Structure 1
Amino acid sequence: MITYNPKDWFTFIFRFHKADTLRKLAPLIFGISVYCWVIAFLELHVLKIPDNSHIKQITVMHTLLSFVISMLLVFRTNTAYDRWWEGRKQWGSLVNNSRNLAIKLHSMLGYEDAAHRSFFKKIIPMYASVLAHHLHAESTRLALDEQEHPELRELNTSQHLPNQVAKLIIQRVNKLYTEGKIKGDQLIILNNELQSFTDICGACERIKNTPIPYSYSVFLKKFIFFYVMTLPFSFALSLGYLAVPVVAFIFYVLASLEEIAEEIEDPFGGDENDLPMNKMAQNIKKHVVEILS
């Protein structure tokens, strides 16, 4: 995720980063510009359409449709940002619940329970790491660090890995209860954090696996395309060759909004504006180790 100063205007205006839409849309902008120049050349020099032609009245259609396209783009960007913010809230909950679980276990376990403490130091942060890789990858795979993890030998990498790690956590907590390390009321206290891991995973999967409906996305792209493709017919008569940069800029604005929405609607990808899940998983590991040490 890009960290920036929202008050630095000049940096925003004159800086082009990897995620900038101008880089991605440059070929299309160039094609639209060439298309607009051809239309202007034909109307002004080949067909020599007079200024009072009815073609110039196409701007009335553009005026009417501009309200419709603005409402569609507002809905599109708001929906995409809601998905991004929902993903951030879920990972914020994962950070808090991991800390709370570690704090509660620290208060319940004695210092003589070194084996249990060592297990939870590894397994609680590992859930966040496994979930991050699960959401990044199309096919689930486990990416552990270089240390040995004998407590995870039962994991089957062909199955749902976050569920397996959550199962190991609950099994160890249940073992603490059967051994008398924690009481029944303490087990109930731990239940909220234990259950929240799977709830967060399910919510993130819902965002990851349910994009905006296909028909809506296709219609919006077609709408923008045909809207921009009809602009040169009227603009060339009123603006001349100046219509080329004007139409190119209009296309850049409309297409950029759609491009931004496509990027942020999946907050678990590898784009610069996506959530830094690996960094948050590292912070969880740091905090849990500090608490249980």
Structure 2
Amino acid sequence: MIDYNPKAWFTFIFRIHKADTVRKLFPMFIAIGCYSAVVALLELKVLHLSDIAEWKNIVFVHSVLGFVISLLLVFRTNTAYDRWWEGRRLWGTLVNNSRNLALKLNAMVPASNTASRDFFRIMIPNYAFALKNHLRNKYLPEELEQGPGMEIDEKKHVPNQIAGQIIAHVNDLYRKQQITGEQLIILNDELQAFTDVCGACERIRNTPIPFSYSVFIKKFIFFYVMTLPFGYVFTVGFLIIPIVVFIFYVLASLELIAEEIEDPFGFDANDLPTDTISANIRKHVAEIL
């Protein structure tokens, strides 16, 4: 995720960063600029279509379609941002849940039971790192701190395995009468929340925007921009070239931004800082336990 000062907005105009859509779309700018130049040359210098009054009425069609495409892009961007923000809320829940579980275990588990305290100090942050990599379809054992009796099968659901080991250890403490039944019930909400957060994140990752909807918007933008020179060249002349390029930049950038943030758990510049969040969980749990 990009760290920036939202108040220093003037510097954004001249700043080029990894997620800048200009670099991604630059080849298309060249192609569309050349296309617009050819259309303008044919209409103004070769075919003289400006003499046909009916041909100029195509501007009305673009006015109506421009309103429709703006509504579609607003809905598309809002939907993608909702997914990004829900992902951030879920990881905030994971942070709070990890701290709460560590605080309760610190109060309930006897200080003399250093083995159990060390186990929870290791395994609670391990869940955050395992979930982060699980959402990226990766398994990085070097990020997991090794604990006593910890066994992970990378071919299976790693976060579930870690959560299962944490729950099993808590129940083992209950069987050994180091925590009471009431304390076990109190811990249950935090233990269950791990799986709830994981399932909600998987829902976001595994449920993209419907294919037909995404394809329709791209086609709509393409054909809308490709037909712009035919209607506006009579009004602005060869200035239609930079105008069409700029309109394409605005419309296509909104679609690219929506594509980037609709899956907020990856490596894109605007994705959630799950690496930092996981490291903070490890730091805070270690301080508590």
Per the normalisation by structure 1, the TM-score is 0.96
Task: Write the mapping of 1:168-183 to structure 2, written as runs, cut at 5 A.
Answer: 168-183=165-180
Q: Which runs of 5+ in 2 are unaligned?
A: none
SS for the counterpart of 2:249 is: helix
Whole-angstrom distance in 2 between the partners of 1:200 and 1:85: 14
In the alignment, structure 1 residue 90 sits paired with structure 2 residue 87: no
Given candidates 255, 258, 272, the residue that maps to 1:258 is: 255
Per-residue CA deviation, residues 161-202 of structure 1 (Å, 9 max, x unaligned), is 000000000000000000000000000000000000000000
Q: Is the 8 A contact 1:101 1:190 kept in 2?
A: yes
RMSD: 1.2
The one-letter amino acid paired with 2:283 is K
Given candidates 141, 148, 163, the residue that maps to 1:143 is: 141
The one-letter amino acid paired with 2:131 is L
The one-letter amino acid paired with 1:49 is L
Whole-angstrom distance in 2 between the partners of 1:158 and 1:240: 62
Shift of 1:11: 1.1
Whole-angstrom distance in 2 between the partners of 1:147 and 1:250: 51
Q: Is the 8 A contact 2:129 2:143 kept in 1?
A: no
Look up the match of 2:17.
17
Shift of 1:150: 3.6
Q: Is the 8 A contact 1:100 1:193 kept in 2?
A: yes
Look up the match of 2:50.
50
Per-residue CA deviation, residues 195-231 of structure 1 (Å, 9 max, x unaligned), is 0000000000000010000010011101111111100
Question: Percent identity between the aligned chains?
Answer: 61
Q: Which runs of 4+ in 1 moved over 4 A?
A: none
Per-residue CA deviation, residues 21-73 of structure 1 (Å, 9 max, x unaligned), is 11111111111111000000111111122345322111100111111111100
Task: Write the mapping of 1:1-293 to structure 2, written as runs, cut at 5 A.
Answer: 1-137=1-137, 140-145=138-143, 148-153=146-151, 155-292=152-289
Q: Is the 8 A contact 1:142 1:157 kept in 2?
A: no
Shift of 1:5: 1.1
Q: Is the 8 A contact 1:33 1:244 kept in 2?
A: yes
Shift of 1:20: 0.6
SS for the counterpart of 2:178 is: coil
The one-letter amino acid paired with 2:96 is N
Per the normalisation by structure 2, the TM-score is 0.97
Shift of 1:143: 2.6
Whole-angstrom distance in 1 between the partners of 2:108 and 2:147: 24
The one-letter amino acid paired with 2:277 is M
Whole-angstrom distance in 2 between the partners of 1:98 and 1:218: 40
Whole-angstrom distance in 2 between the partners of 1:67 and 1:234: 16
Per-residue CA deviation, residues 63-119 of structure 1 (Å, 9 max, x unaligned), is 111111111001000000000000000000000000000000000011101000000
Per-residue CA deviation, residues 111-152 of structure 1 (Å, 9 max, x unaligned), is 101000000010000000000000112xx5243348543421
The one-letter amino acid paired with 1:121 is R
Per-residue CA deviation, residues 237-263 of structure 1 (Å, 9 max, x unaligned), is 111110000011001000000000000
Whole-angstrom distance in 2 between the partners of 1:224 and 1:156: 46
